[in-house]
Structure 1
Amino acid sequence: MKRSSSILINKENIDSIAIGGFDGMHIAHQELFNNLSQNGAIISIETGYASLTPKNYRQEYSRFPIFYYDLQNIKELNGIEFIKLLKSDFKNLKKIVVGFDFCFGKNRACKVDDLKKVFDGEVVIISEIKLDNFPVHSRYIREFLLNGQIEQANRFLGKEYKIYGKHIIGQGIGKKEFVATINLSIDEFLLPQNGVYISKTIVDDCEYNSISFLGHRQTTDGNFAVETHILNVDNLEVKDNIVQIKFIKQIRENKKFDSFLELKNEILNDINIAKKYFY
């Protein structure tokens, strides 16, 4: 679940900060955080485009408090003014940690070398992080997800890609004709490529092995859906309307079947594949 907000943290105690966008909170971001002091904090610059870990969900992936700065409120500040703002907000600031490609100030005019000139404390520059000689960046993780390459995305994230959704009433066919599913409405998160996935689903703070589908229900009503089936559990009641899905591996892409029977047989086959993975 989401961790508590950073607004309860006393800024006076913070002596080091890591600055960035931090969508994904992936392994390269974690390397920045590893260079913070005990009294460190994370400064997240909000552009409005975060879709891997939207603003209110990032605290889950770090023990350090996160403070959010809206880009629209600071984009006209030059480099000196931006650092002055940070020193005003964190009066005990002695150390700044950034990535090698960090830019700041109006029109992103200032680079890491400029940061060393305008900040009178310690500046730590983290070199580019790679996996198998491939750079770890949020944009690549998005591409992996959109291509159904969940395992690759998870390696770059350093965790299983997870979304949060609101429990909604589905079309009701699954429970009657196929298998029971929990249907979700997803607003903020990037969804992986349409298809069927081995997954884990968190309901009321309990994690279950599951199989999840997202895409247009081409064989039934044609509507877009995100739904998850809990393996080996019957008639699970959802009390908290917020449900989480962790994606582990794609089984297949979405496709249209010629009959309900063909669809049902494929669903049962998908479930067997997931069960073999877990059990």
Structure 2
Amino acid sequence: MKVIEVTHPIQEEQYITEDVAMAFGFFDGMHKGHAKVFDILNQKAEAANLKKAVMTFDPHPSVVLNPKLKRTDYLTPIQDKIEILESYDIDYCIVINFSSKFAEVSAEDFIQDYIIKNHVKEVIAGFDFTFGKYGKGNMMILDEMTEFNSTVVSKQEINSEKISTTDIRKSLKTGELQKANDELGYRYRIKGTVVQGEKRGRTIGFPTANVQPSGDYVLPKNGVYAVSMEIGADKQIYRGVANVGVKPTFHDPSKAQVVIEVNLFDFGENIYGERVTVFWHHYLRPEIKFDGIDPLVEQMNKDKEKAKYLLSVDFGDEVSYNI
């Protein structure tokens, strides 16, 4: 997949020169609703013998258009989004830097400079896709164009509820992890690097890997989770328990920084500096403050046993699992 990073105005050498079917959207989360867009993109490209392209944006438009409610954390930061797009066998990915200058582009100029000049013959986007200054452009306008065809993808639902990035973010923040994973169509994941922590866990029999996220990820609700973690280049999967939070038993919650700590089962290797991916399987309980080490350790043992059971259901007897 060729990735074309564009800062407005788009340069002549950045245009796609082959005829393409192109999907448009921000696509944070690459969830089941987005998967429908890419399915239709594939159908349209195959039917018309076109290359497949995607146009997306970075950062989120709210950073420019609505600073009070700006979205600066993501389900899939841009590098994750690109990686998932590659799995759809996309030929071209245009990443538009959504800047103040780009926000001033009129709907008419967007159509001419970003659609027609990119040899787009089929446009595919969700029903709520808008473009151009003040969001004046929409799919109804595109449907009237004669230079290309347009396909509107209707809202996708689970249990009569619309699948949306906003809803998935809300579910993660409220501990409804299963609901979030159902809408995503895969287990939520956070990539990062194992860094030095306080090393307190090893003194109480629960050594943990302190995971520093590699991007601006949406963090799940503070609490304890059953997780699996992929480590290093060999991509071996290990099971464990993760805590997201400020460790209130040891720190003042108002001053402590939220961290991700993962205790892997039956694992004793030194993995500082390793790149890892944490897969979030089950929410176990909220983070709470304990009156001392003993009740904390007692609860951690209970968390571990519950996580082992739940993950055994997920994995069966497999040692490694392609999530």
| TM-score, normalization by structure 2 | 0.79
**Alpha-carbon distance between aligned partners in 2 of 1:74 and 1:210, rounded to the nearest angstrom:** 44
**Alpha-carbon distance between aligned partners in 1 of 2:180 and 2:298, rounded to the nearest angstrom:** 30
- 1:44-123 alignment, distance < 5 Å: 44-48=56-60, 49=71, 51-62=74-85, 63=88, 64=90, 65-72=92-99, 73-87=101-115, 90-91=118-119, 93-118=120-145, 120-123=147-150
Show structure 1 runs of 5+ residues with no match. none
Match of 2:182 among 144, 155, 162: 155
C-alpha contact 2:193 2:273 (8 A) present in aligned 1: no
**Alpha-carbon distance between aligned partners in 2 of 1:245 and 1:197, rounded to the nearest angstrom:** 11
Equivalenced residues, count: 274
Change (3 A) 1:10 1:160: farther
**Alpha-carbon distance between aligned partners in 2 of 1:211 and 1:42, rounded to the nearest angstrom:** 37
Amino acid at match of 1:13: E
Q: RMSD in angstroms over aligned alpha carbons?
A: 2.1
Q: Secondary structure at the match of 2:130?
A: coil
Q: Secondary structure at the match of 1:257?
A: coil
C-alpha contact 2:143 2:150 (8 A) present in aligned 1: yes
Structure 2 partner of 1:274: 307
Structure 1 partner of 2:297: 264
Q: Quick check: 1:215 aligned with 2:245?
A: yes
**How much has 1:185 moved relative to structure 2?**
2.1
**How much has 1:77 moved relative to structure 2?**
1.4
Task: Report the more deviating stretch, 143-152 or 14-23.
Answer: 14-23
Structure 2 partner of 1:247: 280
**How much has 1:242 moved relative to structure 2?**
2.4
**Alpha-carbon distance between aligned partners in 1 of 2:292 and 2:273, rounded to the nearest angstrom:** 35
**How much has 1:74 moved relative to structure 2?**
2.2
Show structure 2 runs of 5+ residues with no match. 6-13, 61-70, 313-323
| TM-score, normalization by structure 1 | 0.91
Structure 2 partner of 1:172: 199
C-alpha contact 2:37 2:124 (8 A) present in aligned 1: yes
Identity score, percent: 23
C-alpha contact 1:79 1:118 (8 A) present in aligned 2: no
C-alpha contact 2:116 2:147 (8 A) present in aligned 1: no
Q: Secondary structure at the match of 1:35?
A: helix
Match of 1:6 among 3, 7, 11: 3
Match of 1:34 among 39, 59, 70: 39
**How much has 1:89 moved relative to structure 2?**
5.3
**Alpha-carbon distance between aligned partners in 2 of 1:124 and 1:176, rounded to the nearest angstrom:** 59
**Alpha-carbon distance between aligned partners in 2 of 1:10 and 1:27, rounded to the nearest angstrom:** 29
- 1:132-211 alignment, distance < 5 Å: 132-186=159-213, 187-204=215-232, 205-211=235-241
Structure 1 partner of 2:263: 229
**How much has 1:229 moved relative to structure 2?**
1.2
Q: 1:14-59: CA deviations, max 9, x gaps?
A: 5111001111111101111111125211111223435111111112
Q: Secondary structure at the match of 1:13?
A: coil
Change (3 A) 1:14 1:230: farther
Change (3 A) 1:151 1:170: same
